[in-house]
Structure 1
Amino acid sequence: MGFTMKRKIKWKVVVAAGAAVIAVGVIANVVFRYFRYDAYKQYLSSYEVESGSEFQAAKDDKPSVPGMVLVAENDTLKLYTNTETTEIAVYEKESGNITYSNPVERDSDAIAAGVNAAELNATLTLTYYNAARNSATMNNYDMSIEKGQFTAESIENGIRYTYTLADLDSATGIVPLQITEERLQTLVLDKLDKKDARTVKAKFRLKDGVYKLNEKAQSSKVGMGKLNKLFEQAGYTADDYAVDMSETDEKENISFTIPIEYRLTENGLSVSVPTKEIEEKGGAVISRIRVLPFFGAAGTDADGYMFVPDGSGALINLNNGCKNAAYSQNIYGIDPVVQSYVVTEYTEDARIPVFGMKNGDSAFLGRITGGDALAIVNADVSGKLNSYNYVYPEFCVREIELLNMFGVSGNQADVPVLENDIYDENLTVCYSFLSGDEADYSGMAKCYRSQLIKEGVLKETNDTGDIPLYLDVLGGVETKKHVMGVPYTGISAMTTYEEAEKILEEFYGEDITKIRMNYEGWFNGGIYHDVADKIKLVKKVGSKKDFEHLSDVLEENGGALYGNVSFQKVPYTSKRFNDVLEASKYYSGYVVELGAVNPATMRQTSTLNWYDELAYYMISPKFLSRYVDKFTDKITNYEISGICLRDLSNVLVSDKKRTELIDRQAAKQIVEAQYGKLAATEKTLMEEGGNAYTFGYVSDIIDAPVEYSQFYIIDEQVPFYQMVIHGSIDYSGEALNLRDADIDDALLLTYIEYGCAPRFTFSWEDSSVMKYTSSADQYSTCYQTWMSDAVNVYQTINGALNQVQGAAMIHHEVTEGGLVRTEYDNGVSIYINKTDKSITEDGVTVDAMSYQVKGGKA
């Protein structure tokens, strides 16, 4: 009996020990798989801050900007500065044009007053939150330049100004509330005569080796004025004040130290703010930084426009009289982690980090090369705050989050919570200068494209022949099914691989062969698939052999097959994703959960009562590489042409988890690295959306911006985006059969004007099969309904564009006669008439709502 008991006890010990080992193993797995996982850090870059020396003006044999000294010079430009006001100017040697950081005649502005007048003198403006978390702004003119609180240093090919922006408008001025006995003696008393030293000493009381300013002294404005003069006379500075105030428990005045660097480069002027050099004191923290808000500002007599990157590109005419609105748009759209749940408007994203201005026969292009994912482009016209038109970048260097306080109503219910640390980024804008015939938006696009080609981002393809036809094909879709009256979720095949081949045969019969097919719903559960850590084909649409055969058919006829994949948006239905540990989070710690827009509430958190597939998490950039690695390992086993990336270039998301915050710029670096991995699979990459940081990896872009947001201040839309990538990346817009509007002549002419290939979304089965499913927005896809339209649309657009396939779009304009002219580098020009009357110009007659091609082959 005793022996049996001993055996039972022994087995219990073994079981307990085994359970403990398993528990330890599970915990270790969680710790190393999620908490200690840091593979993403290998993709993050850093920067160095150059050491400077005391500023010395360069020798200037031929001074070109009155009132300024030469900083640096190269073959085309000269950089000047005024060391008293810290403003700069760039002189173009060939044209003689001068671009100033601040308006030259700002002192005579009849509109600007108060802070608006002061900001015309500023080169930096900060938005910050004080210790009470109230928001305010501060510019470096009022709080630094006017007070002489800045230094100047020489750096390679440029100059660095470091500003101390301090709110010293207090009762004590620069007199500290407390100062050590030693510092008061050496910094002040020893440098004054005995009488003045006694006066100063009498205002303080000594305790434990520290002098504290008397309350009586603080209450006397006259006395404090005299005391400030004595401290200044002794050489005591604002920097000394900051040191002493940092040691006091008393409230410290708000102050910021921030540098700005100017360098001449081969492309123009580089302007940088290295945020690692920023210092914040007094309990205040910076949220946003505006850089050179009035660079190249144009006055009320100027003629030209500002270019902004809204959608395909847009122009704001100078002095257009729009006093009720301004332009402000995030580069690469709004971060899902900071966007509102409520959708107030539908807008196009700004997909390229550029802006510019044309003023008479001169122009500049601003390109944000550092901190672009944190940037906002702002623009405004004269007549509201001042007499100038201006366009400039703003950087979100620390985000805020409004937390609702339970039991509190009104404005007091939302308490702003700010991130602890400022983003460590080198915020950089590069300005290029254009003149003469190049001083327009076409010249700006050409300049940007040339830079991208020189950097190896874009390549000139020099392709010829027909344009592609983009064809989205719907495969497996989750639908509600029943077995003996019992409902369950299953997959319906909207188009099998064999049926897709039959659709192709009809196009081939019309001699349309250059088809690039984006196949949706081919793996992991359909269109809204599970995470892409493995590839499990949807059996309902066909086998691997069928899939690869479809790819062969397309390639043999000059087309390609792309398997559509989503990496960042993970549906609620995912079975292999831990949302608590792997999803991006708000700074408060809550998981980011989004979905479809509910038309009743306009909240983008709905499933529309259909499927949980429409609700989704955003995978944290921390774990993105893990899923891409697993996918790339497996996709090489499939002999298909390429991959279509649904969201990797459409959404740029940060992770605000407090213990390991990944800002949006870091997220961009991580995403770029994943493009490199995917490209290394030797699969051709297509993408939806097309943000600029992906241009170097993709051959095709669908859903490229062909529209603009129609903001009230904007006067005209232009194909700037298309002028940058045409001849290097093939592209199309939205699926024409899923538009809200009809396919009419005006739309086709726009596609011809924009060099844009047509795109359709097809299915073999009727769209009614997808009614009340997560794919119900694909409301008209049956190929039989649209086949003849697709053929006619393609033949019309291809008839205009097949002579410029692979050529660079070098010029676009609306002529004086009313024609739209698009010119390519192979000598072909396309004239488009969008009016209701025939127009003859340049020896070309174009009928109403028609086009003509001039040049090229007959």
Structure 2
Amino acid sequence: MAEIASHPDLSLETSGHFRFTTPTGAVWATNGPLLILHYYDRQHPRAQLVAAPSGDGQAFGTAGTPSLSAQGFLRNVSASTDVIRARADFPNIQIAIDFEIRRNKSGFIFRIADDGVVENQPGLYRILRVEVLPEFGAAVTGEKGYLTLPNWSGCQTFYDKSYPREVRQTIYSSNDQWEYNCNMGLFGITRAQGTLCGIVAAGDYDAELICRVHWEQARTNSIHPCFVYRWQQEDDRIPGPREIRYSITPSDSAEGEGYVFCGMSYREFLRQERGLLSWKEKAETRPVVLDYRDRFFLKIFMAYKEPQADGRGRYHATCTFAEARMILEDCVRRGMRHLAVMLVGWGIDGHDGMPPTRFPVDERLGGEAAFRKLIAWCAENDILLGVHDSYGESYECSPDFDPADVIRNRTGELWQGVIWSGGQVHKTCPSVFVEKHTKRDVPRLRHLGIYGHHHIDAIGSFMTCYSEDHPLPHRADFAGEVRRMFHFIQSEMGSVSTEMPFGPYFEAVDGYFHSYSHPGPWHRASVVGQYFLDRTIPLLSIVLHGSINCGEGAGSLKTDPLFWLDWGMVPTWEVCMTPSESFGIPSYQSVAADLSAIYAQYFGRDNLAALLGPLTIEGRWELSEGVSCTRYSDGTEVLVNRSDFAWQDLPPQSYRVNSLATARRESSEPAFA
């Protein structure tokens, strides 16, 4: 078979066989094809696909037409010691894709330049998607190792399946894949020879990860990227380069587990190219961010309306401003002083009761006068007080509701969502709400005396907007507007967090309330949850520790504190005075003792938050079932035994911190009594 280029560590043949050899002699390869082109044939019309290379025409068509005999070829353009430049040519349909494979210090880069795509007859044939290096590095069922997927806090899939499954998931989950929570353009393949890490470094807003287990006769397990040039055939081609970077580490790498190498590689990419800052770097312009970082994050849920289509459901007050002070006074008596407290449902009609209208402060909770008194009391007692809010939804029950502000879908209809406290959700276009609502209301909160932190409700999947007045033609445009909201809030309030992790906004936020370490039933019912989720892993914490507080709420109380410590997370909690059964939020008194014990471990006696918060995770080893060791950037090692049995000299349900900067800290007693 003819070679396009061959070097000791990098070779490509016209057959599509591609090989990369590491300095240790490990070979990572694919037998081809190198690319798979998805295109739209406007003659028939239908979507088609053809590989490069391909032997015979594969596309459906009518005899005598070009589409019947569409074929793909790989052709050499040029090659040097470090770079292979080639073309995937589809001459019968007048499409070509120029690409380069460039070696770097840790692996190689596959790149398609913005001008590397040629469509000579777009009236007949249009590019939809391009799959890159399918099955590269694939493992065979029965091998030791696992796939690392960027779902939830991190998803691990072992090579032990007896069923073939494939999922094509959109990076930064599309709205119809919300429950997948695909948070990052990152994946990994760990085998006996080491770990292959893939990072979608360009074109990630319009890309998919194709994940397979026990696939077809070869029984392969793999992940590869698919770049989207058009989501629908009638769209203009989405501009910009496409790039996937592969890094490889041996099985005995210094980072320990293979997924740790993936997380560290992605963190380096985010810090070098996507603006992710360390806590120290953030504090250079926003000093208060360190104060937020080292506090226990506590929400107080104040009010809500029962969901009803017209937004007129029954109102429930679960905690007035006076009662919130009672809760906080008890916290102080118990020694819980270093708190970041976010009030939920403080505005008119409670939580999500009337957005985009949030003022006046609801009189049923005490009104603005009581709110100001609580603000003053918190300032006197060194409690960082802020609010929980949302700027992406609007409801017809609001006097500020304007249908002209709402996202329009392709048909021109208003984009609507679930029936919630304020009625049926209308998704407000971020190019509107940042200027019209965020910049109006956040300064008003600051004028009341709120400063230091602001919490934003769930910002997840995003969509394009087809309004003639405020169009957002690409997914990246939507994300850019939401980032603008976060940046404004940071500048006004000093720091900002949001409900759940989402990759496009890593550089723009300082914390998460949930990190999805325990996917819920709706997550597990998804295709990824059913067929790929063997267990969750702390991939998210490895990427973000030292830059963002990855919080997690309470679950099984007896083991949560050890779990948070083991995974590099921080505890978060939400309470009210009167239990909120609809939202599952407990009364403060029912969990006060638990809160106090958790506070002591993280912010009081052991002060683990301050000790570990500034550091990055540099290694993690799973020593036995339920036993792990995590190494931080200053050399501190945290050994956690979450099992019911002693491991060496470490008792069950306990931890040990060995720090070079401080004296050794040990907890031989159960972490949570």
Measure the CA separation in 1 of the matches of 2:253 and 2:382.
39
* Residue in 1 that maps onto 2:594: 789
What is the CA–CA distance in structure 2 between the aligned matches of 1:297 and 1:160, rounded to whole Å?
A: 24
- Counterpart secondary structure, 1:846: coil
Partner of 2:277: 458
2:226 maps to 394
Q: 1:680 aligns to what SS in structure 2? A: helix
2:464 corresponding residue in structure 1: 654
Q: Match for residue 35 of structure 1?
A: none
Give the drift of 1:309: 0.7
Pair 1:838 & 2:651 matched: no
Residue of structure 1 aligned with 2:429, choices 605, 617, 620: 620
Max Rg structure: 1
Counterpart selection for 1:761 from 574, 583, 607: 574
- The corresponding residue for 1:696 is 507
Counterpart-to-counterpart distance in 2, 1:669 and 1:70 = 41
Q: Is the 8 A contact 1:261 1:272 kept in 2?
A: yes
Q: Distance in 1 between matches of 2:644 and 2:578?
A: 40
User: Which of 165, 174, 193 is the equivalent residue of 2:90?
Assistant: 165
> For 2:615 and 2:47, how far apart are their aligned partners in 1?
50
Q: 1:704 to 1:260 in 2, by over 3 A?
A: same
8 Å Cα contact 1:831/1:846 also seen in 2: no
Task: Specify the alignment match of 2:216 in structure 1.
Answer: 384
1:261 corresponds in structure 2 to 100
Q: Which residue of 1 aligns with 2:534?
A: 715
- Pick closer, same or farther for the CA change 1:303–1:786 going to 2, 3 Å: closer
Tell me the distance in 2 between the aligned counterparts of 1:267 and 1:640: 47
Aligned to 1:585: 408
Question: d(CA) in 2 for partners of 1:130 and 1:419?
Answer: 10
- SS of the equivalent of 2:530 reads coil
Structure 1 segment 271-282 matched on structure 2, within 5 A:
271-274=110-113, 277-279=117-119, 281=122
Residue 614 of structure 2 aligns with an amino acid whose one-letter code is: G
Tell me the distance in 2 between the aligned counterparts of 1:549 and 1:357: 55
Is the 8 Å Cα contact of residues 292 and 453 (structure 2) preserved in structure 1?
no
Asked if 1:437 corresponds to 2:253, the answer is: yes
Other structure's SS at 1:815 match? strand
**What is the CA-CA distance between 1:156 and the residue it aligns to?**
12
The CA deviation at 1:749 is 3.2
SS at match of 2:244: strand
CA contact (8 A) 1:532 1:630 kept: no
Given the alignment of the two structures, is residue 329 of structure 1 paired with residue 169 of structure 2, yes or no?
yes
Three-state SS of the structure 1 residue aligned to 2:597 is helix
Q: How does 1:107-146 map onto structure 2 within 5 Å?
A: 120-126=32-38, 128=40, 130-142=42-54
**What code does the residue aligned with 2:211 have?**
A
For residues 85 and 712 of structure 1, the distance between their equivalents in structure 2, rounded to whole angstroms, comes to 32
Superposition deviation, residue 571 in structure 1: 2.7
Distance 2:106 2:483 in 1: 24
Which segment drifts farther, 787-796 or 462-471?
462-471
Structure 1 Cα separation of the partners of residues 137 and 498 of structure 2: 36
Tell me whether 1:576 sits opposite 2:396 in the alignment.
Answer: no
**What are the equivalent positions in structure 2 for 1:478-557 lying under 5 Å apart?**
478=305, 493-532=317-356, 535-542=359-366, 544=368, 546-548=370-372, 550-551=374-375, 553-554=377-378
Correspondence for 2:583 among 770, 778, 781 = 778
- Equivalent residue runs for 1:657-736 within 5 Å: 660=471, 662-708=473-519, 709=524, 710-734=529-553, 736=554
2:296 alignment counterpart:
469
SS at match of 2:615: coil
Gaps of 5+ in 1: 1-65, 72-77, 104-119, 169-253, 341-345, 401-417, 481-486, 596-605, 768-775
Distance change >3 Å, CA 647–CA 288, structure 1 → 2: farther
Give me the whole-angstrom Cα distance separating, in 2, the residues matched to 1:661 and 1:682.
27
Q: Classify the secondary structure of the residue corresponding to 1:665.
A: helix
Q: For residue 657 of structure 1, report the CA deviation from its aligned partner.
A: 5.0
- Alpha-carbon distance change, 521 to 269 in structure 1, aligned in 2, over 3 angstroms: same
Contact conserved, 2:52 with 2:88, CA < 8 A, in 1? Answer: yes
Q: CA deviation at 1:833?
A: 3.2
Q: Offset at 1:457?
A: 0.8
| Distance in 2 between residues matched to 1:426 and 1:69, nearest whole Å | 23
Match of 2:188 in 1: 356
2:24 paired with 1:82: no
Q: Which moved more, 1:559-568 or 1:801-810?
A: 801-810
- Name the SS of the counterpart of 2:447 in structure 1: coil
Q: Deviations over 1:826-846 (max 9, x none)?
A: 444333334333332xxx322
Residue of structure 2 equivalent to 1:248: none
Range that drifts further, 500-509 or 520-529 = 520-529
The alpha carbon displacement at 1:349 in A equals 0.7
Identity fraction in percent:
17
| Alignment partners' CA distance in 2, 1:446 and 1:641 | 33
Q: Which AA in structure 2 matches 1:758?
A: P
CA gap of 1:569–1:371, structure 2 versus 1, over 3 A, is farther
- Return the TM-score normalized by structure 2: 0.80
Q: Secondary structure at the match of 2:325?
A: helix
SS of the residue 1:444 aligns to: helix
What amino acid is the match of 2:460?
N
Superposed, which structure 2 residues align to 1:135-214 within 5 Å?
135-142=47-54, 148=73, 150=75, 152=77, 158-166=83-91, 168=92
Q: What's the CA shift for 1:816?
A: 4.2
Q: 1:287 aligns with which of 102, 122, 128?
A: 128
Per-residue deviation, residues 552-575 of structure 1 (Å, max 9, x unmatched): 554565542222221112234233
Change (3 A) 1:478 1:146: closer
Q: Distance in 2 between matches of 1:797 and 1:751?
A: 10
**Higher strand proportion (structure 1 or 2):** 2
User: Secondary structure of 1:389's partner?
Assistant: strand
Shift of 1:643: 4.9
CA contact (8 A) 2:347 2:358 kept: no
**Please, what is the CA RMSD of the aligned residues?**
3.8
For 1:282 and 1:823, locate their aligned partners in 2 and report how far apart those are by CA, in whole Å: 57
Q: Distance in 2 between matches of 1:81 and 1:283?
A: 35
- Number of corresponding residues: 618
Deviation at 1:129, TM superposition (A): 5.7
**How many Å apart are 1:702 and its aligned residue?**
0.8
Amino acid at match of 2:568: G
Q: Is the Cα contact below 8 Å between 1:475 and 1:493 reproduced in 2?
A: yes
Quick one: distance in 2 between partners of 1:793 and 1:328?
40
How many Å separate the matches in 2 of 1:330 and 1:707? 21
Q: What CA distance in whole angstroms lies between the structure 2 residues aligned with 1:647 and 1:780?
A: 16
Match of 1:320 in 2: 160
Matched to 1:571, the amino acid is Y
Distance verdict in 2 for CA 1:315–1:477, change over 3 Å: closer
Q: How does 1:4-23 map to 2 (within 5 A)?
A: none
- For the residues of structure 2 that align with 1:558 and 1:157, how far apart are their CA atoms? 58
CA distance in 1, matches of 2:574, 2:292: 24
**Cα offset for 1:854?**
4.3
Residue 630 (structure 1) aligned with residue 440 (structure 2):
yes
Find the aligned partners of 1:381 and 1:430 in 2 and give their Cα distance. Answer: 22
How far off is 1:490 after superposition?
8.0
In the TM superposition, residue 506 of structure 1 has moved relative to its aligned partner by 0.8
Structure 1 length normalisation: TM-score? 0.64
- 1:636-686 Cα shifts (integer Å, max 9, x gaps): 424212454434633323224589452212212222233222222243111
What one-letter code is carried by the residue in structure 2 that aligns with 1:437? S
Counterpart of 2:623 in structure 1: which amino acid?
T
Distance (whole Å) between structure 2 residues aligned to residue 584 and residue 464 of structure 1: 37
The answer to whether the 8 A contact 1:564-1:643 is kept is no
Letter in 2 for 1:822: T
Cα separation, partners in 2 of 1:837 and 1:452, compared to 1, 3 Å: same
Matched with 1:43 is none
Measure how far apart 1:634 and its partner are.
Answer: 3.9
C-alpha distance in 2, partners of 1:852/1:386?
Answer: 45
Residues in 1 aligned to 2:387 and 2:292: alpha-carbon distance in whole angstroms: 25
